[in-house]
């Protein structure tokens, strides 16, 4: 029996004449990390805002399971609409927006103390949570540093800490790694994982599909206002393409010649596309063994030196781009 | 508690924003200190007075000597122009020009000209008041002297009149006596009976009587003689008797004496009787006398007749005289009456005191509040000024700081009601204001006034409501605006407007009636400062001001409602923006603009094959031409292009110009006037866009500018 914690049911949201969300259906399970992917302007932020109850949809509803009933069976009666249980939603949900939402002139401690108060936490619980979260986020040493003096990554972590101050069961992160450098992004992934390990359900949106692939248990693809598919990254990849991706790096890197030779090989290699990306030859093929064999043969013939070769499923990014093209 | 937590957060943010802390927290304290020192004065400023007199005579000198005191700094000028010029240059505050031949004279009017610089709005009136006061005192002195002279002359006249009254009395008396004499004379004259009728005199009777008298005398003589003879007989009898009686010798002697004396008397009587003969003789004489008398009486009668005639004449003259005396009396009475009237009038003059005549009304400006310092009077207004500006500025800045902070969004995620945030901001402002007011009032009490603020409970209530009102106004401003700069500017503007439409700068009475009316009724600065003044300066009771308190209380509640509504509106707006709706709307607007630009460019370069060809073979390449053409069509011609089933204009715009939005609007409109209206609007928008496009510099132009 699935343990859904949030159900998005036939949600439609319009802004003026434009329909941003069109009959969206989604189930989020307890304890998972769910990623929402989509292009810019596809409605990711709108969906997240609707889930948390900021925006009232024109049609449909968003139901969530009350915190104290999470351990019970998936009985419809345990669910409440987020629009009629505003306070319960706020107590159960934590939200971290794309831009850190904290007071620049307050210290880390003061920010968390303040928001802890707003969640009606008692003094002891508040202090305990602050200590735990500061350590978890790795900003304990900057406890009494004003937020304005923190780096971008630390700000983000503080923001997430403030979102977690009341120990919500559901955490919503909107573009958590936006504006972060790769190193910080990695740290953020690690952090998100740590939070999730403590039992928090996480819903996040991101442009960085590679991180969603790594982080998320499941993802949902939002396209033209619809969730066209929701599932594990592998499920999605398999659903949209049977191809595998061969990435080849050689030197001196006469990829165009290699491509030409592959095209004129006369063998059926089931290659759907070939391209040079980031100084690597990328081949999409449903027959990866045959194609790889042929490519390596050509590389050898041309006296190219092989530097790197990988064979894997295409990334979500690639799937999305393909979808974009199809649409 | 959440609200205290919110307040604590607000305090931290304010204090850590150094500029806010300096301006908002310390600013009013500095202002009140400076203003307090400035207004804590009992004296007036020294006035620089320039003067000019064509001839420095005694009168002019006396006036100048009045001004030669501490509060004036005098300077003499050679001419009127130089004196007036000194005003413009700021050397003098006032220029006094005395007239030529300045003296008090019946034939002369003296005008003293005061030239003032009325561009110094606040100062010039006090200068004018000061100098007017001094000159008025001097003029009063002169008036007093002249009035004293008049009074003295009046008194003198009264005395002389009074003295002359006794003469009149005398005249009257003499007149009355004369009149009485005249009357008397007249009566006497009238009473003189000079009617004489000889026949009635009775001379014959007299003659008869004379004769009778003569005969009587004879008879009497005879009788007397008889009587004497009898008496002699009696004496003899008595003597004989006495001799024969037993009387004493003394008694007999006595009786003899008596008889002797009686006999002597009888002898005398006999001799007298003998004289009667003379009388008889006299009667004859009497008759002759009577005759003489008769003739005299005739003469008298004649004379009396003449006298009667003269008497009549005299009576007439006496009458005339009487009339003249009466007339004279009337005149005397008239003069007396006049004198009396003059004297009565003069005496009835109730006001004889010179001071009362010269200054019948003495204006005693008795301040209800006995204090020397101006600060006491300005204090309520100063306090309200501080409360107004700082209340509005602080609360608006607080709201804007919150709105523009990154954490604004997170507040909505927490289970904290909107009212808590509103109340938190309100209480933060109120707390800061309370601290500031406490410091200000303490400073006021310690440094500027010894008296403790009376009616403190009323003052606290008014201060509380006033601070609330201005705090709420500031919160509304903060809710509506998005940047601290505009918030500050708006706050200052609102405060300035409220200040100008109040009594502090210009009297409300000098403004149009409707402004004055509404300012007194609903301008919170006016109402609150008035209430505070009443409470602090006049110590009024609650019942005296309850109506005004209700007004400001109601205003505060109304503002609170507006704060809540505006907060909710702004929150919704914020969430929409956060959700990207507004950005989408902006994008949509930009997209529309971009498509309009594309259409503009398209219309400029439209090939003739794509022009709209009318039924009369006209070629239309743009919307403006299309509009002009449609306007020229009559109903029948119009129906050729547009009817229930087709709309050729819309088709062209849709398929050739590729502007779906405009095409859809035209499809919906079937009538000519609606279509022309839509096209006219579109044409205007395109023209506007064209102008904007024309103004935009190209990349090359921009570079050129930078290089320069």
- How confident is the model over B454-468, as pLDDT tens digits? 677 888 889 999 999
> For residue B703, is pLDDT > 50?
no
Encode B69-81: b = buried (16+ Cβ within 10 Å), e = exposed.
eeebeeeebeeee
pLDDT, position B201: 66
Edge-first strand order for the sheet with A201-205 is: A93-96, A170-174, A201-205, A33-38, A218-223, A226-231
Task: Identify whether residues A77 and A197 lie together within a single domain.
Answer: yes
* Residue A49 C-alpha, separation from nearest chain B C-alpha, in angstroms: 7
Closest partner residue to B9 among A20, A97, A103, by Cβ?
Answer: A103
Q: Which residue among A238, A254, A274 closes a domain?
A: A238
How large is the average pLDDT for residues A2-14? 85
> For residue A70, is pLDDT > 60?
no
pLDDT digits (tens, 9 = 90+) for A111-135: 999 999 999 899 999 999 999 999 9
> For residue B506, is pLDDT > 80?
no
Q: Which residue among A208, A238, A268 closes a domain?
A: A238
Q: What is the mean pLDDT of chain A?
A: 84
Question: Chain A to chain B, count of Cβ pairs less than 8 Å apart?
Answer: 86
Task: Identify whether residues A252 and A216 lie together within a single domain.
Answer: no
Tokens standing for residue B360? 């019948």
Task: Identify whether residues A62 and A209 lie together within a single domain.
Answer: yes
Q: Mutation target for B interface from A99, A112, A115: give the one with most B CBs within 10 A.
A: A115
CATH of B47-152, one of 3.40.50.300, 3.30.70.2190, 3.40.1710.10, 3.30.365.10: 3.40.1710.10
More confident residue, A66 or B491: B491
pLDDT, position B350: 67
Burial of A264 (0-12, 13-18, 19+ CB in 10 A): exposed
Query: If pLDDT is split at 50, 70 and 90, which confidence band does B563 have?
Result: very high
Q: What is the mean pLDDT of chain B?
A: 79
Task: Identify whether residues A134 and A210 lie together within a single domain.
Answer: yes
* Residue B464 C-alpha, separation from nearest chain A C-alpha, in angstroms: 28
Kindly list the domain boundaries of chain B, sorted by start residue.
2-37+372-579, 47-152, 198-354, 591-707
Query: If pLDDT is split at 50, 70 and 90, which confidence band does B592 have?
Result: low
> For residue B705, is pLDDT > 90?
no
Closest partner residue to B581 among A15, A100, A114, by Cβ?
Answer: A15
> For residue B360, is pLDDT > 70?
no
Please tell me the distance from the alpha carbon of residue B273 to that of residue B287, in angstroms, as a whole number. 21
How large is the average pLDDT for residues B379-384? 84
pLDDT, position B698: 46
* A65 strand-pairing partners: A79
Query: If pLDDT is split at 50, 70 and 90, which confidence band does B351 have?
Result: low
* Residue B6 C-alpha, separation from nearest chain A C-alpha, in angstroms: 7
How large is the average pLDDT for residues B365-372? 55
Q: A55–B410: do the CB atoms touch at under 8 Å?
A: no
Contacts of A18 in chain B (CB under 8 A): 584, 588
How large is the average pLDDT for residues B111-123? 73
Residues composing chain A = 327
Task: Identify whether residues A169 and A27 lie together within a single domain.
Answer: yes
Query: If pLDDT is split at 50, 70 and 90, which confidence band does A109 have?
Result: very high
Please give the DSSP secondary-structure letter assigned to residue A13: E
SS3 letters across B467-521: HHHHHHHHHHHHHHCCCHHHHHHHHHHHHHHHHHCCCCCCCHHHCCHHHHHHHHH
Closest partner residue to B415 among A52, A90, A99, by Cβ?
Answer: A90
**What stretch of H or E contains A245?**
strand A244-251
pLDDT, position B36: 63
Q: pLDDT above 90 covers what percent of chain B?
A: 10
pLDDT, position B702: 38
**Tokens 């989509």, residue located:** A38
Q: Measure Cα distances from B524 to A174, B461, B494 in Å.
A: 46, 15, 12
How large is the average pLDDT for residues B530-536? 85
Q: B406–A102: do the CB atoms touch at under 8 Å?
A: yes
pLDDT digits (tens, 9 = 90+) for B292-302: 887 888 887 78
Edge-first strand order for the sheet with B113-116 is: B72-76, B47-52, B94-97, B113-116
> For residue B230, is pLDDT > 90?
no
Cβ under 8 Å to B: A residues 35-94: 41, 45-46, 49, 52, 54-55, 86-87, 90-91, 93-94
Task: Identify whether residues A212 and A69 lie together within a single domain.
Answer: yes
DSSP letters, B183-252, are HHHHHHHHH------HHHH-HHHHHHHHHHHHHHHHHHHHHHHHHHHHHHHHHHHHHHHHHHS---HHHH
How large is the average pLDDT for residues A47-61? 86
How large is the average pLDDT for residues A26-48? 85
Decide: A271 and A291 in contact? Cβ < 8 Å.
yes
> For residue A175, is pLDDT > 70?
yes
Closest partner residue to A90 among B414, B580, B584, by Cβ?
Answer: B414
Please tell me the distance from the alpha carbon of residue A185 to that of residue A45, in angstroms, as a whole number. 20
Helix (H, G, I), strand (E, B) or coil at B371: coil
> For residue B679, is pLDDT > 70?
yes
Task: Identify whether residues A159 and A176 lie together within a single domain.
Answer: yes
Task: Identify whether residues A256 and A184 lie together within a single domain.
Answer: no
Interface contact A110, partner B, CB < 8 A: yes
Query: If pLDDT is split at 50, 70 and 90, which confidence band does B126 have?
Result: low
pLDDT digits (tens, 9 = 90+) for B30-87: 776 666 666 555 555 677 888 899 988 888 888 888 777 667 788 899 998 898 888 8
Q: Mutation target for B interface from A43, A118, A173, A222: give the one with most B CBs within 10 A.
A: A118
- Complex confidence, ipTM: 0.78
Q: Which residue among A238, A264, A296 closes a domain?
A: A238
pLDDT, position B119: 66
pLDDT, position B595: 64
Domain range for A254: 241-326
More confident residue, B650 or A76: B650
How large is the average pLDDT for residues A266-281? 83
Interface contact A14, partner B, CB < 8 A: no
Please tell me the distance from the alpha carbon of residue B337 to that of residue A260, in angstroms, as a whole number. 152
Residue partners of B596: CB distance under 8 A and separation at least 6: B659, B685, B686, B689
pLDDT, position B361: 64
Decide: A162 and A115 in contact? Cβ < 8 Å.
yes
More confident residue, A241 or A248: A248
Contacts of B401 in chain A (CB under 8 A): none
Decide: B297 and B198 in contact? Cβ < 8 Å.
yes
Q: How many domains does chain A have?
A: 2
CATH number at residue A260: 3.30.70
pLDDT digits (tens, 9 = 90+) for A222-241: 887 888 888 888 888 777 66
Pick the closest to residue B408 from B581, B199, B571 (CA basis): B571
> For residue B452, is pLDDT > 60?
no
pLDDT, position A130: 93
Greatest mean pLDDT among A154-168, A170-184, B361-375, B573-587 lies in A154-168
Residue partners of A30: CB distance under 8 A and separation at least 6: A3, A4, A5, A65, A70, A169, A201
Greatest mean pLDDT among A232-241, B153-162, B547-556, B587-596 lies in B547-556
Contacts of B8 in chain A (CB under 8 A): 114
How large is the average pLDDT for residues A300-312? 90
Query: If pLDDT is split at 50, 70 and 90, which confidence band does B479 have?
Result: very high
Task: Identify whether residues A67 and A171 lie together within a single domain.
Answer: yes
Tell me which of B120-134, B406-420, B603-617 is least confident.
B120-134
């Amino acid at each position: 029996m699935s343990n859904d914690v949030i159900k998005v049911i036939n949600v439609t949201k319009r802004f003026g004449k434009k329909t941003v969300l069109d009959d969206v259906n989604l189930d989020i399970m307890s304890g998972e990390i769910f990623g929402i992917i989509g292009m810019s302007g596809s409605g990711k932020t709108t969906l997240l805002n609707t889930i948390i109850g900021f925006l009232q949809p024109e049609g449909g509803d968003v139901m969530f399971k009350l915190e104290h009933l999470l351990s019970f069976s998936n009985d419809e009666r345990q669910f409440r609409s987020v629009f009629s249980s505003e306070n319960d939603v706020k107590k159960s949900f934590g939200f971290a927006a794309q831009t850190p939402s904290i007071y620049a002139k307050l210290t880390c401690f003061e920010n968390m103390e303040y928001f802890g108060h707003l969640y009606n936490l008692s003094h002891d619980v508040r202090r305990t949570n602050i200590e735990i979260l500061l350590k978890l986020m790795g900003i304990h040493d900057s406890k009494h540093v004003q937020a304005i003096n923190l780096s971008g990554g630390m700000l983000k972590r503080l923001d997430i800490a403030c979102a977690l101050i009341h120990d919500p069961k559901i955490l919503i992160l909107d573009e958590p790694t936006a504006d972060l450098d790769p190193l910080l992004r990695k740290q953020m992934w690690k952090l998100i994982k740590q939070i999730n390990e403590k039992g928090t359900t996480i819903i996040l949106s991101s442009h960085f599909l590679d991180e969603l692939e790594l982080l998320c248990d499941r993802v949902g693809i939002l396209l033209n206002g619809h969730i066209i598919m929701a599932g594990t990254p592998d499920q999605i990849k398999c659903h949209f393409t049977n191809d595998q991706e061969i990435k080849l790096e050689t030197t001196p890197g006469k990829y165009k010649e290699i491509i030409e030779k592959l095209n004129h090989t006369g063998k059926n290699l089931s290659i759907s596309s070939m391209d040079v990306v980031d100084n690597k030859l990328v081949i999409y093929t449903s027959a990866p063994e045959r194609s790889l064999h042929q490519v390596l043969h050509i590389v050898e013939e041309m006296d190219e030196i092989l530097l790197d070769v990988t064979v894997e499923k295409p990334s979500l990014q690639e799937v999305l781009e393909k979808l974009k093209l199809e649409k | 508690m959440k609200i205290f937590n919110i307040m604590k957060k607000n305090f931290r943010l304010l204090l850590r924003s150094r500029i806010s802390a300096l301006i908002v927290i310390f600013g009013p304290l500095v202002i009140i200190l400076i203003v307090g020192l400035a207004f804590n004065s009992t004296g007036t400023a020294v006035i620089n007075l320039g003067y000019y007199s064509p001839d420095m005579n005694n009168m002019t000198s006396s006036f100048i000597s009045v001004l030669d005191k501490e509060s004036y700094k005098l300077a003499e000028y050679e001419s009127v122009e130089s004196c007036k010029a000194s005003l413009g240059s700021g050397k003098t505050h006032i220029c006094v020009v005395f007239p030529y031949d300045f003296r008090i004279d019946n034939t002369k009017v003296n005008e003293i000209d005061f030239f003032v610089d009325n561009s110094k709005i606040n100062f010039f009136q006090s200068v004018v008041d000061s100098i007017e006061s001094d000159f008025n005192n001097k003029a009063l002195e002169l008036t007093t002297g002249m009035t004293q002279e008049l009074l003295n002359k009046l008194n003198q006249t009264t005395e002389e009149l009074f003295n002359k009254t006794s003469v009149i009395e005398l005249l009257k008396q003499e007149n009355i006596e004369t009149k009485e004499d005249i009357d008397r004379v007249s009566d006497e004259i009238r009473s003189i009976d000079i009617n004489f009728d000889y026949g009635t005199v009775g001379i014959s009777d007299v003659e008869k009587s004379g004769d009778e008298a003569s005969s009587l005398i004879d008879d009497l003589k005879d009788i007397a003689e008889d009587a004497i003879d009898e008496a002699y007989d009696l004496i003899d009898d008595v003597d004989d008797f006495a001799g024969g009686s037993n009387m004493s010798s003394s008694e007999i002697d006595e009786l003899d004496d008596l008889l002797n004396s009686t006999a002597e008397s009888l002898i005398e009587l006999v001799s007298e009787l003998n004289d009667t003969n003379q009388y008889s003789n006299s009667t004859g004489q009497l008759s002759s006398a009577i005759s003489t008398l008769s003739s005299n009486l005739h003469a008298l009668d004649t004379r009396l007749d003449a006298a009667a005639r003269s008497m009549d004449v005299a009576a007439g003259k006496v009458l005339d005289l009487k009339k003249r005396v009466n007339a004279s009396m009337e005149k005397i009475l008239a003069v007396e009456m006049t004198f009396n009237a003059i004297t009565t009038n003069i005496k009835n003059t109730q006001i004889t005191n010179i001071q009362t005549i010269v200054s019948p009304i003495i204006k005693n400006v008795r301040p209800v509040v006995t204090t020397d310092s101006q600060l006491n009077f300005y204090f309520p207004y100063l306090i309200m000024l501080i409360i107004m500006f700082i209340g509005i500025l602080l609360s608006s800045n607080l709201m804007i700081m919150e709105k523009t902070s990154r954490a604004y969004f997170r507040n909505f995620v927490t289970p904290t009601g909107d009212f808590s945030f509103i109340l938190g901001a309100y209480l933060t402002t109120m707390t800061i204001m309370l601290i500031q007011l406490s410091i200000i009032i303490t400073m006021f009490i310690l440094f500027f006034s010894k008296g403790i603020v009376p009616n403190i409970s009323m003052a606290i209530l008014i201060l509380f409501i006033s601070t609330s009102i201005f705090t709420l106004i500031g919160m509304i401003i903060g809710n509506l605006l998005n940047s601290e700069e505009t918030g500050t500017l708006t706050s200052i503007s609102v405060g300035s407007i409220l200040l100008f439409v109040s009594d502090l700068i210009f009297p409300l009475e000098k403004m149009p009636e409707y402004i004055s009316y509404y300012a007194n009724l609903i301008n919170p600065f006016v109402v609150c400062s008035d209430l505070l003044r009443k409470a602090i300066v006049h110590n009024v009771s609650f019942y005296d001001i309850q109506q005004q308190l209700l007004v400001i209380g109601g205003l505060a509640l109304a503002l609170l409602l507006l704060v809540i509504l505006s907060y909710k509106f702004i929150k919704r707006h914020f969430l929409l923006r956060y959700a990207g709706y507004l950005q989408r709307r902006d994008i949509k607007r930009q997209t529309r603009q971009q498509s309009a630009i594309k259409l503009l460019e398209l219309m400029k370069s439209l090939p003739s094959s794509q022009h709209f060809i009318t039924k009369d073979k006209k070629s239309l390449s743009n919307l403006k031409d299309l509009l002009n053409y449609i306007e020229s069509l009559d109903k029948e011609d119009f129906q050729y292009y547009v009817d229930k089933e087709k709309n050729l204009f819309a088709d062209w715009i849709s398929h050739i110009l590729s502007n779906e939005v405009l095409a859809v609007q035209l499809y919906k409109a079937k009538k000519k006037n609606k279509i022309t209206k839509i096209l006219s609007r579109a044409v205007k928008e395109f023209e506007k866009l064209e102008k904007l496009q024309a103004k935009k510099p190209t990349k090359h132009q921009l570079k050129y500018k930078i290089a320069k």
